[in-house]
Structure 1
């Protein structure tokens, strides 16, 4: 299969490229990435001889058309994703997430190419703490932030292009990912690299906010399964049923790094901080026979800590600027 991977130099996309090279060496992979601060050639260095890497903007219609025309399928990861950045400056999120997805949709429509659109559980808003309810494919959209609202808009565009134009597309909404190559602005790698650089870890508010965690390799194996066997027009929710509050995750990181589990600072909470995310992945389990392999969160967390400990050359150049940005926000 000739596969075009948008945003393939970012966190989840790069891991998808690595697993594709490893598990599907028969595929021909083209990565399109704008190489913003969140994209890194270094993330693809180990597989650079196995792929074609094109630096370009997903909103460039001419480039998108050219690359899509050469492909059998597109996996669309490209997006601006960090909620704090969206709160500070939402315009790049509108351009990348909405106009970028529109551009991809028009290209796959023109050339009859299969599309899988990668999205987030944050489009559903949040759930009450202590409630047993979980997000399903029929949960109404209720986004809380500029980030999640632009991802909700992109999902709606995909659905409309499927219905109006017959585009062969599927959507997945996934819970919080963790693993290698995640930018140090994100919660888990920020705390790990704070410890590794002698800084005190930082926790928003009281840390009672709950997230549903999944290892990035499990997310990507689900995307592959949907791409192969998913029903056109369907939305699949991807999750590993690993709900944990942020305080528990912080203490687990500190314990696994041989630090006092209370050795961190509470900082100002994020504006409009969603309370709880929880995914019901039963349709993916039942219909496509998928299940996560990383079923012990702390084992996955330990391996992630080891990766950051062993790869400071990858994240080190990003760290000081990231922490300066947080310090400017009082976080």
Structure 2
């Protein structure tokens, strides 16, 4: 019987690999009797097993053939052992890879969940910041409107209906490389401080159009000096206002502001006295206060000069209002 890659003849006879001839013979007789075809007529495999047992016995009682078989058997056992070790290593490697992939999936899932939470929190903060900004803007507009109404009443009571254009004018400057503005966009931004009578844009020199960044300027002429004062003294510094430098067109705060301040204080005092006499302590009139402003010497402001061009722009505006044929207002920088 040749070496079988599946059947081990020692296992077939039920003996150890170190068994002697007597043990081999005894085991053969027992197995041959057990699987003899005459005693196993109902077992179709009996004849084959009986033949294998006889072949195994013949091989093992022949010392030379047994030695060759033992050598091949040891080589086969060693090969199977190596395959078993490799198979175990492969299984461990596969198991480790699967575990690493599972951990990586969990890490990715955790990271994705964390990023989603961060995005949700960021969105929530952005929405809350936007709501706060909207509330601040709304409050600012309400305060400005209330202040303008109060100031215009003060203007009328102080006999300041005809305040000079230059006293109601604010000069603004901005970097065109950061933001580009035209008359419409400036009106949209600054009309929050009061009704605008005119927006006069300074022309940009031809050589300046080639530059990426250039300082541009404009004159904002409000209908009320209180509106101009509101712009100059607002405490609300949003992103839009931060982009503009603001100056009184005349180079200093107009005297009309002080006149309005005096009239407002007088009006507020009268209402306070009336409220006290009526037993009402409400001090709504005193909520509007135009802060005192130091006189600004135009010459001390870097980069600002109230030149003839500024007055020329205002003069041209007046001429347009009077029906003059000259409709081209210009303000040079």
TM-score bracket, normalised by the shorter chain, equals under 0.3
TM-score w.r.t. length of structure 2: 0.21
Task: Pick the structure with more strand per residue.
Answer: 1
Larger RCO: 1 or 2 (CA < 8 Å, sep 6+): 1
Task: Pick the structure with more helix per residue.
Answer: 2
TM-score w.r.t. length of structure 1: 0.21
